[in-house]
């Protein structure tokens, strides 16, 4: 004897027919909700500004590195590095650009002054930071 099972999704908000299940997470808790196309679109529209400003997370809440940068970001970074070198600022050829250099670049027309130098960390703070890096590296392995 054959058996046929029909599954019908019901919108968890208004009881109408749902298109499917939408999954989301917040505060390390994952949720699934059955929504109609209209309610799913509303949820996505509400979350869009937050999703756009957020970074992706992997397992256990660890941030996932973005593997590719937009071409405009690369072009801007090259321009910032060239400007900083022309101003005599110390800047690495690769890696993150300090917020001080970024701010000076963005305000280059308003004020030609270079960013204030960052004070050297104390020896204790430097050692503490090195221990944290070593611990994080060991945990990642």
Q: Whose CA is closest to 89, among 119, 114, 116?
A: 114
Residue 130 lies in a domain: no
Residue 112 lies in a domain: yes
> What would the pLDDT profile of 14-63 be if each residue is shown by its tens digit?
999 998 899 989 888 999 999 999 999 999 999 999 988 988 877 665 55
Write down the pLDDT at residue 44. Answer: 93
3-class secondary structure for 53-74? HCCCECHHHCECCCCCCCHHHH
Rounded to 10 deg, the angle between the 99-106 and 71-86 helix axes is 90
In-domain check, residue 123: no
Distance of CA 58 to the CA centre of its chain: 12
In the chain, the number of structural domains is: 2
More confident residue, 118 or 36: 36
Structural domain ending residue among the three candidates 9, 40, 67: 67
Same domain, 9 and 60: yes
CA-CA distance, 64 to 47, in Å (whole number)?
20
Looking at the fold, whether 18 and 41 belong to one and the same domain comes out as: yes
The reply to whether 97 and 111 lie within a common domain is yes
The per-residue pLDDT for range 69-89, each reduced to its tens digit, is 555 688 888 889 998 889 888
pTM: 0.40
Query: Model confidence over 90-115: pLDDT tens digits?
Result: 888 888 888 888 888 888 877 555 55
- CA–CA gap between residue 90 and residue 111 (Å, rounded): 19
Residue 79: give the domain boundaries.
Answer: 69-117
Pair 63, 16 in one domain: yes
pLDDT at 132 over 60: yes
């Amino acid at each position: 004897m054959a058996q046929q099972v029909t599954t019908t999704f019901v919108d968890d908000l208004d009881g109408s027919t749902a298109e499917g299940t939408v999954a989301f997470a917040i505060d390390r808790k994952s949720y699934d909700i059955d929504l109609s196309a209209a309610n799913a679109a509303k949820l996505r529209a509400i979350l869009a500004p937050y999703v756009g400003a957020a970074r992706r997370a992997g397992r256990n809440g660890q941030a996932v590195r973005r593997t590719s940068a937009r071409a405009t970001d690369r072009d801007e970074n090259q321009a910032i590095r060239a400007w900083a070198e022309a101003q005599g600022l110390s800047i690495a050829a690769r890696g993150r650009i300090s917020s001080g250099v970024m701010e000076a670049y963005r305000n280059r027309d308003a004020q030609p002054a270079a960013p204030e130098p960052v004070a050297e960390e104390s020896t204790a703070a430097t050692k503490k930071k090195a221990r944290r890096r070593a611990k994080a590296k060991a945990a990642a392995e």
